[in-house]
Amino acid sequence: MNWFEQLFSRRRLYNDLSEEIQAHLEEKIEELVASGMPRKEATAAARREFGNVTLIEEDGRALWRWPSIENFLMDIRYALRMLRKNPSFTAVAVLTLALGIGANASIFGLVDSAFLRGLPFREPDRLVHIWTIEADGDLHTPTPTQYQAVREDSKSF
């Protein structure tokens, strides 16, 4: 049996384990009864010797587990049950996810086109930014009229 089949046949495996442990316990009880011990005392003695049956079952199940996959599938099942139970919350959650994914895609598209890809100019390394310097020394982007004046008066550009 491969791991995928084991993942989806857990209940059968766990039931088989429980039945096998119970069979061993019953076998020990019958052995003690056959040696002359009363059934009630034999049951108590077998349980003492055998140990905590539930703990042994849990330890056996832990050996077969794929914790990350099983926990993920249990979380998905729980989430689907909760979403089915409250449709208004489900609608809000789906709308929030849709808006978040849409906003993320559009922002990534903008960042990709503006920063990650080259500028759509023939020689982008020759682009310049014009600043105006005020009397107090502050740098500012020129207003459209100042830009037009620089464009008309400048021989460098």
Q: C-alpha 59: how far from its chain's center?
A: 27
Residue pLDDT, tens place only, 75-127: 999 999 999 999 999 999 999 999 999 999 999 998 888 777 777 778 877 88
What confidence tens digit (pLDDT) does each residue in 15-44 have? 888 898 899 899 999 999 999 999 999 999
Name beta bridge partners: 139: 133
CA distance 147 to 144: 5
